[in-house]
Chains A and B, each alone.
Chain A
């Protein structure tokens, strides 16, 4: 019995002693800040790029090379209006680049060599602000206000789409033009819309409408409930994949007063 007691004590002691061998995580919390805005080039930083809040919008990628030649990227995503702000970043030296529905800042030749490199390498300490100027694939402007029909079941909107870049490598056909509709959120886009109602032109029809250069008018499809207000926004994309996805360019969202009209 006594033996049992001793061995129990020994075991508990050993447990306690070895437990202290586990290293305590006493690193500081990440508290540096990286923020900025992705602007449309040529607007003298007056116009930021319109995007969507998701990993299909504008991605900010940070790479810390001090540990590995092929580090695990740290990604975060810009807000709907092209601004970004991350207040939880570890101190360090990072290579930073943005990717989205615009002419890529990093371009590769057909064998994978980096030919254009617009990335920035910077020490992140305290608050660092980096703005970017990019050439969007497409520019979309509202023409007038979206109009609700008399029965309050459809919205019609007019807009104009033009190329945002003269770069000959990014003049692919327009494959989709959408009038995205959302019944509850200002954050509307292809990640967050009601597929039943969103008006659309796809494939050849989209390119044909774009190619005329005229004002395009789209109406929502089906008939939605008049019992609420809707948020609408136009998105269009060309047949080019940025990081594995065809990404939409947008104009700024508008509220269509259906209920509160």
Chain B
């Protein structure tokens, strides 16, 4: 009992002891302004955090999980027809909500811009340093508003730190600005950044030209909205147009986009380190290598990754089944519809691939790669053809083995437009051996005694999720040198190139051509032609003969081909307002190789996606719905149409 008494007394003494100290000391568990703003290291840590939070749609982004998510299955490219995935059932819009994250960034940046300059003397910073940091804040703010406006249309513009006062909460209820005002804010923030930023920085931090590069992208979007959008939504309280921009503003935006893109000329160039005008293999290698060369003169803005601190799982999720180490594979399966956009393939008059001879029989090939002998090198660097080498191993993709004598030839397996599963057509199942999954591969032996699997090591199987679905593997950004045992989640660390000079040329070409269409002068068409020509030459594509042959379709198609699988295409289709035309109960096409037993030959069947994924785009999705909890908090936010 005595012990308890002593314990109690010492407890009281200990508790009262702090009363003797001066309580006016900075709390050690809160980082105060002078720690952050008073030293270069503090500012660097601040900027690193906002750069990290800046909305970049990279390896760790998709339309369901949003930005900076640790895994990214359900690939974004499977909303555009570029690819299909077992995890994407059809057309969709983004289902993640990106709202409060953006306003946290705005607050951080506004706070920095209001506070940091007063620490200039204390920290001993030079004008150049302070300008760079402020310029970066303007840059990131513009990037973040751009991420908002392309989703929602007009959003509340906050350019200063809002004070929280629980008695006057209604002051924080800021109505949406017009879509036009947001784009103008973005333009002025990029312009401010251009003034403040230095000429050169590391490629993962913004410089003058980074700001102008992104400005060319944002203004191109604004111009397209002004020109092609038909949705109108006005806020009766503010009389502002929340969705849509008056069409007479289009020309000004395209001009701004064009001028910004032109400023980058001479500061960056297309990557051609391994390129040769006459060698298709070199062109292929050049385009594939571009995404892995840190010293590429084409890189304008890069999000850097590095194991083990900052990683993603792009290789793990997208590698073909035969290279699989984990339980993930083949999330992104390029479609034939996508592949058919490229040059160098045998074609029918309607532009689709020609796999039949004049008599209507399938053309037989010695090797699967023979069909792609003349394919555009950029395509080969974007998808893996059946039989092409990846990691020193041929991609083995085929649907089945034709086991009966060919006779005069093989006529088409399914009627045009059929979505039937091959296995469920008795006539096909009796002639072709197929496997439902890789665990139960069936085998067949030819006359010479060689045994063959019924389907390729990567598929195609009709009942196995991780099998190849479209007939092609994904090549772009896939690391060809990654050892098999490292192909697991959160192990990849290749950099994401968010902006490269190729896109700048395409921005410039599109803006120029739109200006030409608005009768702004022949020189714009010539300039568009020159930009497109540079892209096509580097890609090894067919070159448009002359400036007078350029059409808007050619400009757009070039963009889709060049920037495929870089998470840009969905936004492009959206701003051109053509998604509902492209995706109207649409099935994409796939290409299925078959091996012919005893002949040692191959044929290809072009067909509608066997997994029957139908795509229908809902025009309401041109403007995303504003999260309802934000409206509850801020009642003056008007919801977009149709939600």
* A243 B585 Cβ-Cβ under 8 A: no
* A68 B230 Cβ-Cβ under 8 A: no
* B415 A195 Cβ-Cβ under 8 A: no
**CA of A226 to CA of B197, assembled, Å:** 69
Chain B residues contacting A69 (CB-CB under 8 Å) are 635
- Given A193-B585, A196-B417, A244-B642, residue A68 in contact with residue B632 (CB < 8 A): yes
**CA of A110 to CA of B614, assembled, Å:** 37
* A195 B587 Cβ-Cβ under 8 A: yes
**CA of A73 to CA of B417, assembled, Å:** 42
**CA of A198 to CA of B641, assembled, Å:** 29
Q: Which of B234, B417, B419 contacts A111 (CB 8 A)?
A: B234
- Given A70-B637, A195-B585, A195-B587, residue A108 in contact with residue B236 (CB < 8 A): yes
* B632 A72 Cβ-Cβ under 8 A: yes
Chain B residues contacting A110 (CB-CB under 8 Å) are 234
Binds A, one of B3-11, B133-141, B255-263, B615-623: B615-623
Asked if B636 is at the interface of the complex by the 8 Å CB criterion, the answer is yes
* A112 B234 Cβ-Cβ under 8 A: yes
Identify the closest chain A residue to B233 (Cβ). A112
Asked if A114 is at the interface of the complex by the 8 Å CB criterion, the answer is yes
* B235 A243 Cβ-Cβ under 8 A: no
* A70 B235 Cβ-Cβ under 8 A: no
Chain A residues contacting B240 (CB-CB under 8 Å) are 112
Asked if B231 is at the interface of the complex by the 8 Å CB criterion, the answer is yes
**CA of A69 to CA of B637, assembled, Å:** 11
Cβ proximity bits A37-56 to B, threshold 8 Å, 1 near / 0 not: 00000000000000000011
Q: Which of B236, B415, B628 contacts A114 (CB 8 A)?
A: B236
Asked if A7 is at the interface of the complex by the 8 Å CB criterion, the answer is no
Cβ proximity bits A160-188 to B, threshold 8 Å, 1 near / 0 not: 00000000000000000000000000000
Asked if A214 is at the interface of the complex by the 8 Å CB criterion, the answer is no
* A243 B239 Cβ-Cβ under 8 A: no
* B416 A222 Cβ-Cβ under 8 A: yes
**CA of A245 to CA of B642, assembled, Å:** 8
Asked if A3 is at the interface of the complex by the 8 Å CB criterion, the answer is no
- Given A222-B417, A245-B620, residue A72 in contact with residue B236 (CB < 8 A): no
* B415 A245 Cβ-Cβ under 8 A: no
* A244 B585 Cβ-Cβ under 8 A: no
Identify the closest chain B residue to A246 (Cβ). B619
* A244 B623 Cβ-Cβ under 8 A: yes
Asked if A241 is at the interface of the complex by the 8 Å CB criterion, the answer is yes
Asked if A223 is at the interface of the complex by the 8 Å CB criterion, the answer is yes
Residue of B234, B416, B585, B618 with most chain A CB atoms under a 10 A cut-off: B585
Identify the closest chain A residue to B238 (Cβ). A112
Cβ proximity bits A231-260 to B, threshold 8 Å, 1 near / 0 not: 000000001010111100000000000000
Asked if A26 is at the interface of the complex by the 8 Å CB criterion, the answer is no
**CA of A239 to CA of B416, assembled, Å:** 32
A-B contact count (CB 8 A): 66
Cβ proximity bits B390-427 to A, threshold 8 Å, 1 near / 0 not: 00000000000000000000000001110100000000
Asked if B584 is at the interface of the complex by the 8 Å CB criterion, the answer is yes
The tally of residues in A whose CB lies under 8 Å from a CB in B reads 28
* A244 B236 Cβ-Cβ under 8 A: no
Asked if B482 is at the interface of the complex by the 8 Å CB criterion, the answer is no
* A70 B631 Cβ-Cβ under 8 A: yes
Asked if A212 is at the interface of the complex by the 8 Å CB criterion, the answer is no
**CA of A111 to CA of B230, assembled, Å:** 16
**CA of A21 to CA of B430, assembled, Å:** 68
CB proximity of A64 to chain B, nearest CB, Å: 13
**CA of A241 to CA of B232, assembled, Å:** 9
* B417 A241 Cβ-Cβ under 8 A: no
- Given A68-B635, A243-B620, residue A113 in contact with residue B236 (CB < 8 A): yes
Asked if B640 is at the interface of the complex by the 8 Å CB criterion, the answer is yes
Identify the closest chain B residue to A224 (Cβ). B417
CB proximity of A99 to chain B, nearest CB, Å: 9
* B235 A112 Cβ-Cβ under 8 A: yes
Identify the closest chain A residue to B636 (Cβ). A70
**CA of A56 to CA of B415, assembled, Å:** 32
Q: Which of B586, B620, B637, B638 contacts A244 (CB 8 A)?
A: B620
* B417 A243 Cβ-Cβ under 8 A: no
* A244 B415 Cβ-Cβ under 8 A: no
**CA of A220 to CA of B619, assembled, Å:** 25
Chain A residues contacting B619 (CB-CB under 8 Å) are 241, 244-246
**CA of A245 to CA of B622, assembled, Å:** 10
**CA of A72 to CA of B417, assembled, Å:** 44
**CA of A73 to CA of B640, assembled, Å:** 12
**CA of A60 to CA of B635, assembled, Å:** 22
CB proximity of A219 to chain B, nearest CB, Å: 15
Q: Which of A196, A222, A243 contacts B642 (CB 8 A)?
A: A243
**CA of A68 to CA of B641, assembled, Å:** 19
Chain B residues contacting A246 (CB-CB under 8 Å) are 619
Identify the closest chain A residue to B614 (Cβ). A195
Chain A residues contacting B614 (CB-CB under 8 Å) are 195
CB proximity of A176 to chain B, nearest CB, Å: 9
* B230 A241 Cβ-Cβ under 8 A: yes
Name the 7 nearest CB pairs between A and B, nearest first.
Answer: A112-B234, A195-B585, A244-B642, A244-B641, A244-B620, A112-B236, A70-B635
Q: Would you list 22 pairs from A and B whose C-beta atoms are within 8 A, ordered by A residue?
A: A70-B631, A70-B635, A70-B637, A70-B638, A72-B631, A72-B632, A73-B639, A108-B234, A111-B239, A112-B233, A112-B235, A112-B239, A190-B585, A193-B585, A196-B417, A196-B419, A223-B415, A241-B230, A243-B642, A244-B622, A244-B641, A246-B619
- A residues sitting closer than 8 Å to B (CB atoms) are 55-56, 68-70, 72-73, 108, 110-114, 190-191, 193-196, 198, 222-223, 239, 241, 243-246
Further contacts, 4 of them, CB under 8 A, given A69-B635, A222-B417, A244-B642: A108-B236, A195-B585, A241-B619, A245-B620
- B residues sitting closer than 8 Å to A (CB atoms) are 230-231, 233-237, 239-240, 415-417, 419, 584-587, 614, 616, 618-620, 622-623, 628, 631-632, 635-642
